[in-house]
Every structure is written in structure tokens, then in C-alpha cells.
Amino acid sequence: MAFSTERRKDDTRKGNRNPYLADQANGLSLVANIVSGDKDLRAIQIDDIVDLIFSSCGHIRVTDEIQLSAQLKRLTERLKTPMRYKVLNGKSVIGVGGTFSAGKSSFLNSLLNDKSVLLPVAQTPSTSVSTYIMSGRDENITACNSFGREVKLNAEALQAISHDFREKHGLNLALYLDFVAVQSAAFPVNNVVLLDTPGFDNGVDIKNLGDKTRSQQALKSVDRLIWLVPARNATASAGENGEINFIKNLSKDLEVLLVISKCDVQREVYTAADPQNNYIVQKIRNDFVDNGINICGVIPYSTVDTDWPNGNSCKKQVIDFLQRTSRTSRTVSDIKGEINGIINSLRNDFYSSSNELEKQLNTIASQIDSAPNPLDIPSLIRLHGVLGSQFANIKFDKEIFENSVTKLNKWVSERLGA
């Protein structure tokens, strides 16, 4: 989409004070800063290497294959760019998700409690960018563009990355950004990073399928998930394109904290003596639990009244959850150790499968030599041939596996500077 050179006549009349939205030259400068760089092909290739590692296990029985694959992809995702590694090293990552208009940005801004650094809320799904929010000594905003290059932003530039920028300048900046990292001294918990992801519609709107995919890909790298459901919905969306199926496709047994958002506009919840046990809150919770989602807690929430309900602040409940999670943060050695653990588990599965086949081949060979009935020998020979072919396939696959692991280890070492 071309950058629009037409200055909007209503910018001044609307009192738009954001320089990147009100001034075409400033907007063009921001675009030039964001889109520069060359694509890091090595970051893309690691996905193919991980896929090859698991596809090479096609002839063996793998213990918890889906879980191991998701875990390895989650770990390599953290190392894809130097900036992502720097942001996430030694920290637990908690994803924040929900359908479009669930109130994620307002929820995060209420936790951030820093008016100098606010996340954009005037967004459509297709203008959203995955954003990491964390504690820092100073306010700092850095973007990582789609080429893996770091781009320094100020608060006004962060606000400009929204639907308004596309409306005014005809360009969707989200298409050129991998993620944004926001550091703030006001963030209440150390060693925890919140990952705000693009929302998505429950329908099958082709225009928003890419955003749903981007959101799902980003959330596959998290340790836990906070999922927002507006109280007014009174239910969770099921079906193939619903949020329940979306979460199921992230990771097996992923712990999910349900936040029932916008409770202040749902009178039945907001005025309840015990909002936690209100029938709407319980109905939403049961929708997730009954569909196999691992719910570790439910918090009714209001961004306009974070001290609600009286004596049991919803904001404090969320912060307590973040603090409990901060105790499980990862270090570099943890990441390398987890990757090695996954690889060793797969190696053990190779050994077990080939060892079992080898024993069967020896047994059949012995039966062929000592068969009392010569008529049984042709069948035994055919069976020996089938098992021999399987054994050869596993041996061939093991070579592919080890070659892929060598490439993986080299890539990890390069990313960690080892």
C-alpha cells in the first residue's frame, strides 16, 4: 500500500497533537526509520530445522511429541533475534490475549500505571503489533522491525502505530514490525514480561486471518496465558474459529488465568456482593473448563475502578499472579538445558525403537534357523524383511535427526554468543 501524501484537512480541527499523525513529513520519517534493514534469513530457517527434527521421528514412537515440539518452538522463538533474547532472558513470559475489543490494551495500561507510556487503544486487529511490557529503570520503547533491526521509538511514535496512522497516511505500520518492547519503572513486577498480542475476530473474516495467525504464533512462546473475556459476552466462543479452540492450539496444558474484563459496564457483576461467584463469571469459567482448558484462576476486572471489589482489589489479584510467576523465570543456562533435554528425550526414543526392532529381528532370524516346519520359513523371511526395512528407515532418519540437531546447536550457540 502506497504512503499517502495527502494531508488530512481535519487534523487541526480535531486537535490531533500527535506529530506523526498530524504531519505527513513526520509520518514519512517514522516509516523510513521502521522499514529499513535486511531480513534475517537464519531466524526463518530455524523453524524449518525444528520441523525437520520432528519429521525425522516419523518412524519411531515419540513420548509427548506435540508437547515437545511446542516447547522447542517456544524456546527457539526467544532466540530468533538478539533483541528478543535480550528482552526475554531470565524472565517469565505471560501472554495476554483475547478477541478484538476484549479490552487488552486498557487492561495493560491499568497495570502499567504510567501515563507517559500508554499502549495504543485506537486499533483494529490488523493494525495491532505484539508488544512486550516489562519493568525497567527508565521509560524505554524499542521496536524490532520485520528485518530484526532495533528501532528506538518515543511515546508519541508508539501511539501512532494504530488504526489512525493507516487512516491518515495509507500505510499499515504493523506489517513492518515484529514486536515492540516497552520498559517502564512503573511496571509492578520484576522478572516478568507481559506479551500483548493482536486481537482477532471469532468469525472467518479473511482480512483478519493473518492477525489471528500472528497472535497464535506469538502466544506459542509464552509460559502462561492471561485471557480476557468481556463480562457482557456472558460466554466463551467455541467452534472451530472460537477462542477456546484458539487456546487449545497453543500448547498442551498451558495454564490460563481468566480475566473477566469490563465488569464495570455489566451491572450484574459489578454490583454483586461476591463477583467471583457471580453466575456470569462462573458461566464463562465453566465454558473454558468444560472444554479442557487448564484454568488456574478467574479474576473479574475493571480498568476504571482497579480497587474493586472492596477489600479485594482486582489489580492486586493480577499483580499477585505475576509475582508468583516471576519465581519461575528462565536464565540462559535454563534455555540451553531445556533444549538439550528435548533432544535427549528424542534420542532415547530413537534408541528404544531401534533396540526393540533389533531384538525382534534377532528373534525372527533365530526362528528361521530353527523352524521345525519348512513351510513357515517364507513367512518368517518376509516378516524379517519388513522389520529390516523399518530398521533401515529409522537408521536413515536418525542421521537426518543428528544433522538437524547439529544445525540447531550451532544456531543456538550463535544466538547466545557462545
pLDDT at 2 over 80: no
Long-range contacts of 148-157 (CB under 8 A, 24+ apart): 148/37, 148/39, 148/40, 148/43, 148/80, 148/81, 148/82, 148/83, 148/178, 149/36, 149/37, 150/83, 151/33, 151/34, 153/180, 155/116, 155/117, 155/118, 156/18, 156/19, 156/20, 157/20, 157/30
> DSSP letter string over 89-140?
TT-EEEEEEEBTTS-HHHHHHHHH--TTS----S--GGG---EEEEE-SS-E
Q: Which long-range contacts (CB under 8 A, 24 or more apart) does 16-25 make?
A: 18/156, 18/159, 18/160, 18/164, 19/156, 20/156, 20/157, 20/160, 20/165, 21/160, 21/164, 21/165, 21/168, 24/169
pLDDT attached to residue 114 = 61
- Around 263, how many Cα atoms within 13 Å sit in the side-chain half-sphere? 31
- Mean local confidence (pLDDT), 345-367: 94
CA atoms of 346 and 363, how far apart (whole Å): 26
204 falls in which pLDDT band (50, 70, 90)? very low
- How does the average pLDDT of the chain come out, rounded? 84
Q: Which residue has the higher pLDDT, 289 or 129?
A: 289
Question: Confidence class of residue 94 from pLDDT cuts 50, 70 and 90?
Answer: very high
Which range among 81-85, 303-307, 370-374, 387-391 shows the weakest confidence by mean pLDDT? 81-85
Q: How confident is the model at residue 118, as a pLDDT?
A: 62
**Percent above pLDDT 90 for the chain:** 43
How far does Cα 52 stand from its chain's mean position?
21
13 vs 162, which has greater pLDDT? 162
Q: What is the pLDDT of residue 29?
A: 92
pLDDT tens digits for range 63-84? 889 889 988 988 888 787 778 8
Residue 280: band (very low, low, confident or very high) from pLDDT cuts 50, 70, 90: very high
Per-residue pLDDT at 88? 83
pLDDT of residue 6: 40
224-230 sheet: strands from edge to edge: 150-153, 140-145, 177-184, 131-135, 192-196, 92-98, 224-230, 256-261, 295-300
Cβ atoms of residues 169 and 122 within 8 Å: no
C-alpha cell at 263: 465488569
pLDDT-derived band at 331, boundaries 50, 70, 90: low
Q: What is the pLDDT of residue 4?
A: 37
User: pLDDT tens-digit profile of 208-233?
Assistant: 445 677 778 778 878 899 999 999 98
Considering only residues 417 and 271, tell me which one the structure prediction assigns the higher pLDDT. Answer: 271
Position 79 scores a pLDDT of: 82
